[in-house]
Amino acid sequence: MNDSIESSNVIKIPIDKLALGMFVSAIDHQYSKVAISNPGQIKHRDAILKLKKNSIAFVWVDIERSSDTCGLKKSNRSSSAIRPLMRKATATRDGQQAQAKKLLAEAKGLIKKVMSETFGGKAIEVGEFEAVADKMIESVMGDADAFKCISALRTKDAYLFEHSINVAFLLVTFGKHLNLDRELLKQMAVGGILHDIGKIKVDNEILHKPGKLTPEEFEHIKLHQFYAIEIMNETKGLSQVSKDVCLMHHEKLDGRGYPNGLKDEQLPQHGRMSCIVDIFDALTATRCYKEAMSPAAAFKIMISLTPFHLDQKLVYEFIRCVGIYPVGSLVQLSDHRIGIVWDSKGRDALHPIVKCFYSIKYKRYTDVTMVDLFKSELHIERGVSPSMLDVDPSPFY
Ligand SMILES: [Fe+2]
């Protein structure tokens, strides 16, 4: 393990850099990390000498629990083993994650409210959705990594809300990739948030059935799009693009989709995009009747649905946009560690920063470390779906 390429709140430093006030949590013994029975701050030089005498070359120091004066908490540019910038980046990212969580909670709350109001026969207020769409666009235009990570973390019981938000978010991300203008992105996002609104009128038992649907049940689920036509017709101020995104996400290029059996040129680009993102998000989510797929496995299925169902050119463009290892997805590194793709800014798809937390070789959690694949000799072995793991990755998001 190379200490210059991995970082977290606990860092590995050479014994020569160990100073008074640093909190030692483990020592490096015969190239492996050994937790010590009495971790604590170094109070006397004798403790350092004792470690040296015992031929300890490296120690693990917890930055958070070290004293403010030990040199770790302030910018200490003279120390090559310590990376103060990483702490700043982490703090910024924490703030961004908190903001992303807030935005998602707000969007979820809005969808819940509107769904129950629609169920009660109330007309949809478009303005509220536009405000959420605007915030979503802001977050995609800026640094979307935090949002991607938070939205990758899904709960089984909130599928409909999370799926609606993710479809909107993916439409904005995809639209930005295609250089569509901001107003169009906003209309697409509103359509994405509302795209499954018709499900509010579908029988809940069938909607959440754990097993395979009978043909009759599937016909019943398809009704959600016919209900959506009614709801769209009653909604004032909704753009045609938003309506199209909502009403076209189950259409197919060969005309065999529903609710209108539109085909080829009858399906505009934003309508075709809605079919792609809806399928991608459904495949990569855990449902009551199936496990989540890795993005790579989902792409394979989506390619098999071209050109009769999905637009082939757009599917390939979508894969380029999302990337084979999107931020928030799980990957296995060449040293058998599992991590979350954490940061992809300014990088190619194969060299993100990965937040590692588990070893499938040893079947146990590891220290949480950020591995920068630009600087590391490690590489991504494959994308992993959460169902392939025997542990829950959610605490590490
Ligand atoms: Fe749908």
* Average pLDDT for 15-39: 78
Residues 59 and 165 both lie in one domain:
no
> pLDDT above 70 covers what percent of the chain?
90
Instruction: Output 349 or 329, whichever has higher pLDDT.
Output: 329
Q: Are 43 and 87 in contact (CB under 8 A)?
A: no
Q: How far is the CA of 195 from the centre of ligand 1 (A)?
A: 7
- Annotate 124-150 with DSSP letters as a single string: P-HHHHHHHHHHHHHHHHS--HHHHHH
* Average pLDDT for 264-274: 98
Domain that holds residue 360: 330-396
Q: Which of 298, 322, 346 lies at the terminal end of a domain, its last residue?
A: 322
How many structural domains does the chain have?
3
Q: Which of 284, 299, 322 lies at the terminal end of a domain, its last residue?
A: 322
Residues 113 and 227 both lie in one domain:
yes
- pLDDT tens digit sequence for 170-200: 999 999 999 999 999 999 999 999 999 999 8
Q: How far is the CA of 150 from the centre of ligand 1 (A)?
A: 23
Question: What pLDDT was estimated at residue 80?
Answer: 37
Backbone angles phi, psi at 26, to 5 degrees: -160, 160
Residues 89 and 221 both lie in one domain:
yes
Residues 33 and 146 both lie in one domain:
no
* Average pLDDT for 331-336: 96
Q: How far is the CA of 198 from the centre of ligand 1 (A)?
A: 8
Q: How far is the CA of 266 from the centre of ligand 1 (A)?
A: 19
Q: How far is the CA of 89 from the centre of ligand 1 (A)?
A: 38
* Average pLDDT for 19-30: 82
Residues 260 and 371 both lie in one domain:
no
pLDDT score of 74 more than 70: no
Q: How far is the CA of 248 from the centre of ligand 1 (A)?
A: 9
Q: How far is the CA of 123 from the centre of ligand 1 (A)?
A: 20
Instruction: Output 234 or 86, whichever has higher pLDDT.
Output: 234
First to last CA, the chain: 23
Q: Which of 322, 343, 361 lies at the terminal end of a domain, its last residue?
A: 322
CATH number, position 265: 1.10.3210.10
pLDDT score of 21 more than 70: yes
Q: Are 136 and 150 in contact (CB under 8 A)?
A: no
pLDDT score of 290 more than 50: yes
Question: What pLDDT was estimated at residue 78?
Answer: 35
Residues 91 and 149 both lie in one domain:
yes
Residues 172 and 242 both lie in one domain:
yes
Question: What pLDDT was estimated at residue 8?
Answer: 54
Q: Are 100 and 150 in contact (CB under 8 A)?
A: yes
pLDDT score of 314 more than 70: yes
> pLDDT above 90 covers what percent of the chain?
47
> What's the pLDDT band for 67 if we cut at 50, 70, 90?
confident
Residues 99 and 28 both lie in one domain:
no
Among all chains, which residue has been given the structure tokens 């009747």?
289
Q: Quote the mean pLDDT of the chain.
A: 86
> What's the pLDDT band for 31 if we cut at 50, 70, 90?
low
Q: How far is the CA of 224 from the centre of ligand 1 (A)?
A: 7
Question: What pLDDT was estimated at residue 62?
Answer: 80
Residues 70 and 202 both lie in one domain:
no
Question: What pLDDT was estimated at residue 156?
Answer: 62
> What's the pLDDT band for 228 if we cut at 50, 70, 90?
very high
Q: How far is the CA of 185 from the centre of ligand 1 (A)?
A: 20
**How many other C-beta atoms are found inside a 10 Å radius of the C-beta of residue 38?**
5
Residues 252 and 358 both lie in one domain:
no
